[in-house]
A = this chain, B = another copy of it.
């Protein structure tokens, strides 16, 4: 089967949504943006053995490849318009492509974010998605917009994806108790982009980021960009049932440095608490106040005993010596 036929069979499904003036099949796609809005764009590349296991379910991989990009739109408060997909494949595997496309399109349909173009080539498996969205000019949730004294909010909860990853890696502490294995695996392989919450927070929250590299590391990006510090209350962190039996050090590792959570971490002024609660309810997304930002530039964890400790804002670094791919 030829390249064009392969693409046509699995990916082309009409011209997309209301924001799409011209979809797949020309040199460029053409998108319409709403007057008074800015265009939000983000690009993520997923590599086999680094971002996913070679034997991952292709349908889950299709879902996750788009989900991690939609999560970036959510973190800006942007509404999706469409996305491009560039795909390097070692060969034309019809069953794999069918599964991948099915996971991809299901999530795209759920968020009105059609595939508008892309590229396909032969090469080591590599998935690059660029997503486009729009947000009212001036209302985007930027990393540099936190103010000292803001509440620090978290959607959902962190840590299950990391626990699932450690179980797949065969890490001993993660295997001691395999409760909620399916749920953790779901969190790792099929993250939910928090788009409804993100758009509800645009113009309301101050700063926001989506959690891909761990709560502490990603919070560090907000703090550095905004020139503030933060204090996280350990007792306020939502703990998933699967994490409750873990020794504290491992539980904290999952909660604070887990990665692959794709929850929103955001700051908002204290007088916006009711408005944030309403936005969370309207979007059907649980949120939790987990601390506050501070005028000094430090990141601290306030333990259940009332003592604080410094927290290192390390994130996953694909080039650090010893940084671990998924496999």
Contact = CB atoms under 8 A, between A and B. Distances in A.
A27 B43 contact: no
A277 interface: no
A2 B319 contact: yes
Q: Contact size class for A?
A: 35 or more
A38 B43 contact: no
A175 interface: no
B39 A132 contact: yes
A119 B42 CA distance: 9
A29 B40 contact: yes
Identical chains in the assembly: 2
A33 B22 CA distance: 17
A123 B124 contact: yes
A6 B38 contact: no
A219 interface: no
A188 interface: no
Contacts of A25: 143, 225
Contacts of A325: 122
Interface centre among A2, A28, A84, A318 (most CB of B within 10 A): A28
A104 interface: no
Given A28-B133, A142-B22, A43 B118 contact: yes
A71 B40 CA distance: 23
Contacts of A130: 41, 43, 84, 86, 130
A210 B30 CA distance: 16
Contacts of A124: 47, 123-124, 126
A51 B86 CA distance: 14
B119 A44 contact: yes
Interface stretch (A72-80, A153-161, A176-184): A72-80
B76 A45 contact: no
A95 interface: no
Interface string A9-53: 000000000000110011111111101001111111101111100
A3 B320 contact: yes
A128 B31 CA distance: 20
A5 to B, nearest CB: 9
Interface centre among A49, A87, A317 (most CB of B within 10 A): A317
Interface of A: 1-4, 6, 21-22, 25-33, 35, 38-45, 47-51, 71-73, 75-76, 78, 84-89, 91-92, 116-124, 126, 128, 130, 132-133, 135, 137, 140, 142-144, 208-210, 225, 317-320, 323, 325
21 contacts: A2-B317, A2-B319, A2-B320, A3-B319, A21-B38, A27-B75, A28-B72, A28-B73, A29-B42, A30-B38, A30-B76, A30-B135, A33-B39, A45-B128, A47-B88, A50-B121, A120-B318, A120-B319, A122-B319, A124-B126, A130-B130
Given A27-B42, A27-B210, A32-B39, 7 more contacts: A22-B140, A22-B142, A26-B76, A30-B39, A31-B38, A122-B323, A128-B128
